[in-house]
Structure formats: C-alpha cells, structure tokens
Chains A and B, each alone.
Chain A
Amino acid sequence: MTKRYVMVHDENKCIGCQACNVACRSENGVPEGVTRLQVRVEGPFGEMPHLHFKYHRVSCQQCEDAPCVKVCPTGAAYVGEDGIVSIHGDKCVGCMYCVAACPYKVRFMNPETKVADKCNFCKDTRLARGEEPACVTVCPTDALVFGDANDPQSDVAKLLNTKITYQDKTHLGTKPRVYRVPTKRGGI
C-alpha cells in the first residue's frame, strides 16, 4: 500500500516553546532569517480570567493537491513517490511562482541556495535515515505525531481515528496533510 505521511499537531499539548523551530533549523541547515516552521502564539482569546492562547503551527501543509506543484513551470516543485511535496533544487529557476501560489505562505526562497524551500517532512535528512522528523523527536510535550496514515496500526492513524482534528483552509481544495487537534479549554 502506498504511504500517506501525515503530521498531527495537538494544540492542547503544545506550549509554543519553539523547540521544533530550532531543531528544524539545525537538522535541515535552514539559514538565519528564514524558517520552515514556526509555532505562532495567537490570542489571548476569551474573557478574563478564562484567557487562552492558540498555538498555530505554520509550516508546509504537504497538500495532496498542491498549488505549488501545479504552478511550477519547470517541475522543480514535485510530488515524490512517497507522496511528499519537495523541490528539485537543480531544476528551480527562482521564479517565485510557487511562493506566490502557496495559500499557506510557507514557501520561501532560501537565501543561500537561491532555491525555493519549505518543510519536506525531513525527507532528505531524518526520514532518509529511517528516523522521525526533527520537530517531532524534539517536542518536549509530545504535541507532534508523524507517520503513515495508510497504516492502520500507526500512531497517527489511531490518533486521527480517535480525536477531533481540523486542517487549515480546506475550502481551497488543497487537502492538507497537517492535522490539528483544536484547543479544548481556556486557562493560562
């Protein structure tokens, strides 16, 4: 069966510590000034004293119907056999069409390679070595779960079957593979 890598971010467990952000930078050699992953702390929401914050993971959604792949003139932005949306650096001319077309604004031009860049589920680094993505491994509260959703025995599949999740901007038909467990309650 083909793989369907997905990631779940539990916004109840997340504390916005940015450990994932830092781990991603060092694992994937992301230069200063740009990021593949940020966890934005949004809010506070609610009335005093029941304030709560929302932890919003901002990274490539690994769209199943990816606008960046559709618009790329050279095919540099592509879907691999593992289903992961990634970039052939040597084919990229740097037209920024994909950066403009990404509805989540998570693509950027890498200032060192001059090539489009974004989260690729650590495809070239940790995944290639059979390890879990850096952000998942480092998370102190285990807010991130990664795996093959087509494997019913995997942790992600079980999680998706038992918890309520949502995805960002589903109305655009991109079918994001980053799922989020919504914040349930307030309290700082």
Chain B
Amino acid sequence: MNNTWGDMAQYDPVTWHWIIAVYLFMAGLSAGSLLIGIGLRWFNKDQAQGETSILKAAAIIGPVAICLGLACLVFDLTKPFHFWLILINYNFQSVMAIGVLALLAYSPLAFAYAILVLRDELPKWGLGFLVPIAKLLMPFRKLIEVLLFILAIGVGAYTGFLISAMNAYPMLNTAVLPALFLVSGLSAGAAANAVLALVMFKTDSHDKTLAKMHGLELPVMAIEIMFLFMLFCALYFKGGAAAVALASLTSGVWASVFWIGVVGVGFGIPLLFMLLPAATRHSKGAMIMVACASLTGVLALRHFIVYAGQSYLS
C-alpha cells in the first residue's frame, strides 16, 4: 500500500485463475470424449464385436473428467461447503445457473452410460454389483445416448458461453468462443480416448475405430485454427480496447503459452507426426505422444484464454 487510496489487490482484473482454466478443460474434455465415442458408434454400422475400446475409453473419461472439473469448481468457491446453495437457487439469466442444470442432468447420465458400456469390465474391477444396473439400463441405451450426446454439446459449448457472457473483457466477449471451446474439447476428447484405448484396453494401433477417430483429428484441428483466427480478426477489426487485447499475442508470459503451448505443441507436434512414414506414425508410442501433445495444447489454450482474456478490460 503506497498510495493514499489504499490496497489495489482487489482491483486485479484477473479474477479467475488456473483452477477455473482446469475446470473448463475438464468439462470440455468430458463432453468431447463422449461426443467422439458416441458419434463413432453411430457412424460405425458394424457393432457386432461388442463395445469398441474407444467407446469404453470415452465411457470412463466422460464421468471422471466432469467430476474432477466439478471438484475444481467447488473448491474454488469462497464458500465451498455452501455449494448446495447453487443447486437450490436459480437465476435463469445466468449462464452459470443454466450450466448447473445441464451438469445436473449430464453427470448422472454419464455415469449411467459408463455402467452400461463397461458392463463386461465391471466384474474385473470388483464392481460386479453394478452389472444388474447395466442390465436394467440396457433397453434405454438409445435414449441415454441421444440425451447424453445433446447434453454433451451443451456442456462443451457452455464452458465458452460462461466466459463469453462478460462484456467486461473484449477478448472473452466474442461469439466464436463457445464454438472454439466445443471444437477444442473434441480434439482433447479424441486424444484422451486414444490414450486410454491404447494403454488401458490394449487396443491395437491399427484398430478400425481408432483409425476413424484419427481421421477426424486433422479436420477438427483445421476448424480449431479457423476459429482462433476468427477470434483474433474480430478483435482486430473491432478496434479500441478489443484490438489492444491482441497485445497478449506478442508480449508477456501468455504470448509464450500461446505460441509454444497452443501452436507449437498442440498443433505443431501432431502436424509434424503426420509427415512421418505410416509405419512410424502408427506405432503405439507415436500415437500416445501425439495425443499427449494435443491434450497439452488444449490445456494451454484454456489457460491462455482465461488469463490473457481477463487481462484486458473493455
């Protein structure tokens, strides 16, 4: 305190910190992995050989990631033990309240779907007592899948709407943000599905569904890059405070996070691997490495948006 008017700490425009970035990442990851898993199942007509390992991976990541994310969210509250207040009071003008409702439906459904998809695995993990529930849920599989798919789109986009609903910050207050978060959630979901399928379910790296998912990566990445480009263009042409926020791309620690983390690791490494000969590219080690690079990139993107976005005020 070295001025007459007092402590300035409370006036730091960066209100939300890394823990919220992790929450946004986890929610996007959960939604993305289920969207990819369910989407591929619908797309694959030959479902004779039982559940694919990609779907099994998604069935685990979906509920686990959303729980980790929600734990981050709750412990970031100043009154974590009063979190139930948010479950009984709703302001429907608030994106967060709508998100809470969506998550209230999404999370239990994600667990239900996991029990259903993993019914053959459960006994191996000492969770055999859940198998009757899976049998009970089986007739409703299609319904659960459709609902979960729609809710996952909602949850993925909601993480973007949550922070784009604040006109205090020009970089966050843009229409592309929800779309960008949804798409980058898909790329995180695909990557995490691949890792879990390869490591936990010992999928062969030439597996058909895995290859199909692999085929999605390039178009998803292209859309992500396009949305990022649109975001920065929108800021540039808006001028004023919005254009000033573009400085976050050229100076400060968040510029490094963007260029090294998001562009270099997140886009660069997967693209470089695509240039390698097919045999190397399709080895298990290479696939896991590419997937980890994508995940790192998406996590870096959430941090960049959260911090750089809050650093510039309208």
Q: Do A and B bind each other?
A: yes
Q: Is B77 part of the binding interface, using a Cβ–Cβ cutoff of 8 Å?
A: yes
Contact A72 B94 (CB under 8 A): yes
**Which residues of chain A come closer than 8 Å to B7, judged between CB atoms?**
33-35
Query: How far is the CB of A86 from the nearest CB of chain B, in Å?
Result: 15
B2 within 8 A of A: no
Interface of B, secondary structure class, is loop
Closest approach, in angstroms, between the C-beta of B200 and any C-beta of chain A?
A: 34
Give 1 or 0 for each of A46-83: 1 = CB within 8 Å of chain B CB. 00000000000010000000010111111110000000
Interface string of B253-277 (1 = CB under 8 A from A): 0000000000000000000000000
Interface residues of A (CB under 8 A from B): 16, 18, 21, 33-35, 38-41, 58, 67, 69-76, 91-97, 99-103, 105, 108-109, 114-115, 169, 171-173
Tell me the bound Cα distance from A95 to B75 in angstroms: 10
Closest residue of chain B to A22 (Cβ to Cβ) is: B6
Point out the residue from B9, B97, B310 that lies within 8 Å of A73, measured CB to CB: B97
Q: Please list the residues of chain B having a beta carbon within 8 angstroms of any beta carbon in chain A.
A: 3-7, 9-11, 13, 15-16, 76-79, 82-83, 85-86, 89-91, 93-97, 100, 165-168, 310, 313-314
Q: List 23 A-B contacts (CB under 8 A).
A: A21-B5, A21-B6, A33-B9, A33-B10, A34-B10, A67-B166, A67-B168, A70-B94, A71-B95, A73-B89, A74-B85, A74-B89, A74-B91, A91-B89, A93-B82, A93-B85, A93-B86, A94-B77, A94-B78, A102-B168, A108-B10, A115-B79, A171-B314
Contacts of A172 in B (CB 8 A): 167-168, 314
Contact B9 A105 (CB under 8 A): no
Residues of B with C-beta under 8 A to A21: 5-6
Q: Which residues of B contact A100 (CB under 8 A)?
A: 15-16, 166, 168, 310
**Quick one: closest B residue to A100, CB to CB?**
B15
Q: Are B78 and A73 in contact (CB under 8 A)?
A: no
Q: Are B100 and A73 in contact (CB under 8 A)?
A: yes
B94 in contact with A39 (CB, 8 Å):
no
- In the complex, A69 Cα to B78 Cα: how many Å? 18
Chain A hits for B16, CB < 8 A: 96, 100
